[in-house]
Chains A and B, each alone.
Chain A
Amino acid sequence: MAKSRLSGKCLPESAAGSRIAQASMEYLLVVALTFAIMVPAAYLFYNYSKESGQEITDAQATKIGRNIVDTSETIFYSGKGSKTVIELNVPDNIVAAQIIDGREFVLNISTIFGVSELVFFSAVNMTTDSSKCNINRCAIPGLGDAGLKKVKIEAIDKNSVNISAV
């Protein structure tokens, strides 16, 4: 006679072994069932969050672009000498920012399917420090890194607004 580990009662060897085997089997089934639910669920949620993350980055970049262009237009029409500083939370998917031809504010965003350019068109002439310009393209390096950024927008003359990260 052996003492069963489960009940503490004295049972024949075969009965005690059978109960332990049943407990082990039940344990394995519970673990297997848990894995069978957890693994597909984790995969589906991971993929869903990856695609949602893409949409969030797009929304953040669009908000930044529209904010800069709208503020530039407001400052321009406020007259020469007007200026403001806006705070922007740049997501890490934005890899570069530039102004082209004074009317296109371009944000390069890195996505799971390559780098895309988000273009925002301004009704007023935008510019930045001339040292960062190459022909008709002016880079704004400060906006190419993630984090909280301060952007100064100033109506430097009657024809244009200057945009720079401070």
Chain B
Amino acid sequence: MKIKSQAALEFLTTYAWAFIVITITIGALYYFGILDFSKYLPQKCIFPSQLKCLDFSLLPSEVRLKLVNNLGEDIQIQSISITNDATIPISCTANATPISWIHATQKDFAFRTCTGGAYLPKERVELTVSMDYFAVNTPSKPIHKINGKINGKVTT
């Protein structure tokens, strides 16, 4: 009985050490970003097809977007903003609003002097763009909200 318990204890001691070593190794890999697989994801800009995202660029301290108005109506953008999930979210200066936007045309948007939100060169970022607009020809001009997402790497 005594030999059996010793064997069991030795087994546990050996594997506990192995477990600790593996945990520390995985922790170190995670800390140094080796286990951050999100950097292997494709860079994407996702918007509803009604305001489809054609292109984007993440410059240092500036985010640029090219959207197309597929709504089939002329609209006026009342506000446009950008944010992310960081503890201190990204803060940028957006285009001056209101912006008139004729149907079936493209428009470039720029968010300048971006600060915070871990928006740093060479870093992978996920940004949420929100837009409020109304259709010019609708009598009561109800405001509609549309959200999009940019997932990409900030260039240097």
Contact = CB atoms under 8 A, between A and B. Distances in A.
A43 B147 contact: no
Contacts, number: 70
Contacts of A137: 142
Contacts of A47: 38, 41
Contacts of A129: none
Contacts of A111: 147
B146 A100 contact: no
B117 to A, nearest CB: 15
A133 interface: no
Interface residues of A, number: 29
A116 B37 contact: no
A87 B15 CA distance: 60
Contacts of A40: 37, 40
A8 interface: no
A44 B44 CA distance: 14
B80 to A, nearest CB: 14
Contact of B48 (A104, A116, A121, A136): A116
B48 A101 contact: no
A55 B46 contact: yes
B155 to A, nearest CB: 22
B140 A136 contact: yes
Contact of B147 (A44, A62, A100, A115): A115
A153 interface: no
B147 A59 contact: no
